[in-house]
A and B are shown apart, each in its own frame.
Chain A
């Protein structure tokens, strides 16, 4: 097992290296000259050269990539002498737009994205799994048909569309919720909850639908297994048969899927945060795309990649814990 974990961590390092290399390539090769962008309207060639020097973009590609990479682990210093600006250890550069440290910008907004992700995850797990379970157990009934129709709608509705419909109905027409913003929990818990309930619901709807469909399919598969017949032949109470023998095989694949989905959301729910004006990492990324703020886009991409790649390993290890066929060699 330790050998396996080591190998996986090595794999993580390789993938993250490739991701950062590819991302860097894209921005190095495809983007317009950042010096021109920073320089703005009042610009002359001398000033552009100066900025290039400062950013280090006048150096060859590999040297720049090395600086970028070492900046993440050891920090880096832009410029020389009196004009030097030091950027501390996890250094992902400075925003072209605000000149703030990108890492600071992200850490300031991460709590909002985490709040969005956690709240939505709780909702979609509760609703998705229970709806899927009931549908499978009552397969063929009206409840099942209704729930599955609902879920079909859920996976087909784009969440920005649901977001707009909800906002229009609940905020504009019925006025039961305030216009959304990014409040602090400590200041006004009720307002905090009212602001987050719509983003949570919108995000959870799609995922819950998907999880309900998946849970239902898995449970139906498991109910047809021979070991279910064995369990009934033992004379076990039917609830115990379901709880012990059907649930675990059905839900194990869902646990691993959940790990990946949740990690994906930690990198920011771009659309949901944008539509509801929540100041999270996702909105930061979306705004930066609009302004072509490369360091920020690159940093968010790398962070999201980090979460997803790490989650991939965690999920595989979790799978080994949950499934004895993987954990215990025969």
Chain B
């Protein structure tokens, strides 16, 4: 199997194109927009960073793309994956894309894995959901997937349960699950937030390596601008459900246009900072009407 070959047609068009995405929650006190009129594109082999505080709407954006919005939330606008509109598709149609064309890595790797089943089953079920293969063949794929995320002795570890792995290892397993069907798009929602700093660096490196190998497009969601500067080529800064600023990573870091972005940048601690200069990020939701 040639892992570097992408399943999708590489015709130069954007892999993911989101236009005017609005996510609305119906509450007893009326509708609330948690994401409003958001637009961005993700290309193959590229990583888009979405940055914002918790509650800025970045996680809802990713769930809207996956079609996994919680009950009571509706999305409008346009989401095109490989040129095909997926917003408003039936759940059965979306199910064929989920895990197969687009996959997700979540924040907390412990609670994101089912404690009752071996990691082997949790990888093979993802593969078998989209490939009509025998258990044995799926197991081989799972062992290979574990090997690819640099887990030692994958043929032994495949029969272990999530609680037998460390936090970083669990996140590697989550990545193995996400990548086992060779998706075109991977959405990583704060994948390193729950991890120790040293482990964080290892996971980031692994994700970069794997992306280089497989050529997937990636959305990397984080509240940490420092992480974004390492992984992303383009950045969207969100606050209060709206896009505050967007551009290439370099551009954003060297010449931020918006006060909120500047405040975020200033809040990154540096070794040469004095303690008093640690800035607090204020509320800059200028455009939002929440």
A residues with a Cβ closer than 8 A to B are 225-227, 229-238, 240, 244-245, 248-249, 252, 323-325, 328, 330
Q: How far is the CB of B135 from chain A (nearest CB, A)?
A: 14
Q: How far is the CB of B153 from chain A (nearest CB, A)?
A: 16
B-chain residues with CB within 8 Å of residue A227 when the two chains form the complex? 111-115
A-chain residues with CB within 8 Å of residue B235 when the two chains form the complex? none
Can you name 15 A-B pairs with beta carbons within 8 Å?
Answer: A227-B111, A227-B113, A229-B112, A230-B104, A230-B114, A233-B104, A235-B98, A235-B100, A235-B129, A235-B130, A237-B95, A238-B91, A240-B125, A245-B114, A325-B115
Q: A249 to B117: give the CA distance in the assembly, Å.
A: 10
1/0 per residue, CB under 8 A from A, across B101-131: the answer is 0011010100111111110001001100110
A-chain residues with CB within 8 Å of residue B111 when the two chains form the complex? 225-227
B225 at the interface (CB under 8 A from A): no
Nearest to B67 among chain A residues (CB) is A232
Other A-B contacts than A230-B177, A328-B164, 13 sampled, CB-CB below 8 A, are A225-B111, A226-B111, A227-B111, A234-B125, A234-B129, A235-B97, A235-B129, A236-B99, A236-B126, A238-B91, A240-B125, A324-B118, A328-B163
B161 at the interface (CB under 8 A from A): yes
Interface size on B, residues (CB 8 A): 32
A-chain residues with CB within 8 Å of residue B99 when the two chains form the complex? 233-236
Contact A233 B68 (CB under 8 A): yes
Q: A72 to B104: give the CA distance in the assembly, Å.
A: 64
A323-B116 contact in complex given A232-B68, A233-B103, C-beta closer than 8 Å: yes
Q: A328 to B160: give the CA distance in the assembly, Å.
A: 9
A-chain residues with CB within 8 Å of residue B118 when the two chains form the complex? 324
A-chain residues with CB within 8 Å of residue B91 when the two chains form the complex? 238
A230-B113 contact in complex given A235-B130, A330-B163, C-beta closer than 8 Å: yes
Contact B163 A235 (CB under 8 A): no
Contact B113 A233 (CB under 8 A): no
Q: A253 to B68: give the CA distance in the assembly, Å.
A: 29
Nearest to A139 among chain B residues (CB) is B71
Q: A327 to B286: give the CA distance in the assembly, Å.
A: 54
What 10 A-B pairs have minimum CB-CB distances, sorted nearest first?
A: A235-B99, A235-B98, A234-B99, A226-B111, A234-B126, A227-B114, A324-B161, A226-B112, A233-B104, A330-B164
A-chain residues with CB within 8 Å of residue B66 when the two chains form the complex? 233
Partner of B116, one of A229, A234, A240, A324: A324
Contact A235 B113 (CB under 8 A): no
Q: A261 to B228: give the CA distance in the assembly, Å.
A: 55
Q: A232 to B67: give the CA distance in the assembly, Å.
A: 10
Q: A230 to B95: give the CA distance in the assembly, Å.
A: 13
Nearest to A233 among chain B residues (CB) is B104
Q: A270 to B246: give the CA distance in the assembly, Å.
A: 74
B96 at the interface (CB under 8 A from A): yes
A-chain residues with CB within 8 Å of residue B160 when the two chains form the complex? 328
Q: Tell me the chain B residues, 112-170 only, with Cβ under 8 Å from chain A.
A: 112-118, 122, 125-126, 129-130, 160-161, 163-164
Q: How far is the CB of B175 from chain A (nearest CB, A)?
A: 12
Q: A93 to B125: give the CA distance in the assembly, Å.
A: 60
1/0 per residue, CB under 8 A from A, across B46-79: the answer is 0000000000000000000010100000000000
Q: A225 to B111: give the CA distance in the assembly, Å.
A: 7
1/0 per residue, CB under 8 A from A, across B191-209: the answer is 0000000000000000000
Q: How far is the CB of B265 from chain A (nearest CB, A)?
A: 31
Q: A245 to B160: give the CA distance in the assembly, Å.
A: 17
Contact B108 A226 (CB under 8 A): yes
A-chain residues with CB within 8 Å of residue B161 when the two chains form the complex? 324-325, 328
